Structure 1
Amino acid sequence: MNQVGKVAYELALPPQYQHVHNVFHVSLLEKYNPDANHVMESEPVEIQADLSYEEHPVQILDQQEKKLRKKSVSLVTVLWRNPKVEEATWELESDMRNRYPQLFS
C-alpha cells in the first residue's frame, strides 16, 4: 500500500481485479491487524468492462405516490440481489415495469 496524497492510498489488488481502479480514499479503508492464520477467500464477481456488475430484482417491497408541484410520481421499493449483498432502493415504477414486468404479475 502506497500513500498517494494526504487522504488517498494505492492498493496492491489481486490479478483478477486488475481492471479496478486501485486508489482509494482513507474513509473507505479499515485498519488491518495482521494474523498469520487469516486466509481471505473471495467470491468471484463478474465485473463487466465498464466496471459494472449485474444485480437482479427479487421483489417489490413497497409502493408510494410522491406528489410534486404539478404532477405525481409512482415509486416502488425494489429488493435487489447481487452476488454478495441484498439491498433495497426506491425506483420509478414505470422504469421497473418496463425492465422487469415479471415483478408486477
Structure 2
Amino acid sequence: MDIEDNRLLKSLMDKTISFHDVMSAYNIRTFIAFNLSGKILGFAYVSRRGYYHLILNGNVNYEAQCKTFIHEIKHITYDLPKAGYIIGLDMQHAEIEIAADKMAEKLTKYL
C-alpha cells in the first residue's frame, strides 16, 4: 500500500489543501480525546449520517498519534466501506489490523 494508492493520504501529504479542508472533503471528523485509557490509541467509526469520526488519544505522544491517524485512515479508506460494521475490541491480531499497522509504520517515515 502506497501513498499514491490512497487519495486521502496523498492529499494530506501534498499540503496544497489545508488539513481541515481535506478531512471535510472526505466527510471525516477528527477529534483528540483526553479521557481515553492509554491502552486505546484511537478508533474510527461511521455515524448514521455517513460521517466518519476519527478519535485519537490526546494522552499519547505525537508520533503515536501520527501512526494511529494513518492506521485509522487505512480503515476509513479501505476497510469500513467494505464492511457493514467492525467491532475493534481485541482485534490486534486480525488481518485488517496488521495491514493497518504495516501501512502506518511504512508511511510515518514521510512525516
TM-score normalised by structure 1 residue count: 0.24
TM-score by length of 2: 0.23
Higher-RCO chain (CA-CA 8 Å, sequence separation at least 6): 2
